Amino acid sequence: MSPARPSQPVAAAPAPRVSGGVERVVALALAVMAAVLGVVYVDLVRAPAPEPPPPFDFVNPMLSAHVGECVELSAATTPELASWLVVRSPGVVLRPHRGDAKIAGWSHPRYPDARTLLPYLVCDARSAPVRKKPGAAVDTAPPPRDEPYLFPLNGFGLPLEAMGVLSDIAPTTITWGGQTRKGYAVGIRRYGQLEGPWVLYLSKDAPVLGTMKRSYLRGPGDEQVWLFRVPESCR
């Protein structure tokens, strides 16, 4: 009996050839994509270069406050009822730990020792003379006592009781004192009572706190605005 012959390998079936029509469609699609990319590249090359962002040169305006300097503050709804903020001696306190433990006339239950505070500025708030209409009766009551307020240098013009967390800061322009000035819009948020947000418009040209305008949003459509101006005199 003769040995069995080994089986012959079965030849694989030839792969189907891609039709010429499909090849032409693929080539046409690639050509269209290349043309679109070329147009986009040309537009990018011809487009003008974007303007550089404005320089961020914010300097804390409270550092320039000096003793006796003053600014007038009033609510936008009652400009006739204004207050003056007058810088108290010694002016800007950069090293509270070297100073006194008490600030005359000022106290805060959370900060019984003023030497533990961050750098600050103390201002005396006093009522500005009421702008009365001609013929109105003269007020003979004694003027109210000055009330001190402490403004931390990192509070962006807010007193210690209203300090919050910096949300954003950006260059802006605002009309103040009849002139358009460059400044910064500072967003402040607080947590708990009077959470805000607050928006403060600051400029190095504004005295004492550097604040030109301050707004507080109580809720939708309920915005309170305070305006600052330089009075002729604070006496």
Q: Would you say the pTM of this structure is higher than 0.85? A: no
Look over the chain and give the mean of its residue pLDDT values, rounded to a whole number: 83
Give, rounded to a whole angstrom, the gap between the first and last alpha carbons of the chain: 135
Which strand ranges, in their side-by-side order, compose the sheet holding 70-75? 147-152, 120-127, 82-87, 70-75, 222-229, 211-219, 198-202, 179-189, 165-176
Give one DSSP letter per residue of 117-144, joined into a string.
SPSEEEEEEEEPPP-PPTTPPPP-SPPP
Predicted local distance difference test score (pLDDT) of residue 230: 92
Tell me: pLDDT of 87 over 80: yes
The mean pLDDT of 203-219, rounded to a whole number, is 90
Q: Which amino acid is at 224?
A: Q
Show Cβ contacts of residue 214 under 8 Å, excluding neighbours closer than 6 positions.
Answer: 157, 198, 199, 200, 201, 225, 226, 228
As a whole number, mean pLDDT of residues 33-61 equals 81
Q: Which of 22-26, 48-52, 129-133 has the lowest mean pLDDT?
A: 129-133
Q: What is the pLDDT of residues 66-76, one digit of tens each?
A: 999 999 999 99
Reply yes or no on whether the pLDDT at 5 is more than 90.
Answer: no
Strand-pair partners of 126? 84
pLDDT at 226 over 70: yes
Q: What is the mean pLDDT of residues 110-135?
A: 85
Confidence of residue 134 (pLDDT cuts 50, 70, 90): low
Percent of the chain that is helix, strand, coil (3-state, to 5):
20, 30, 50
Residue 135: predicted pLDDT: 57
* Three-class DSSP category at 61: helix
Mean pLDDT in residue range 84-94: 94
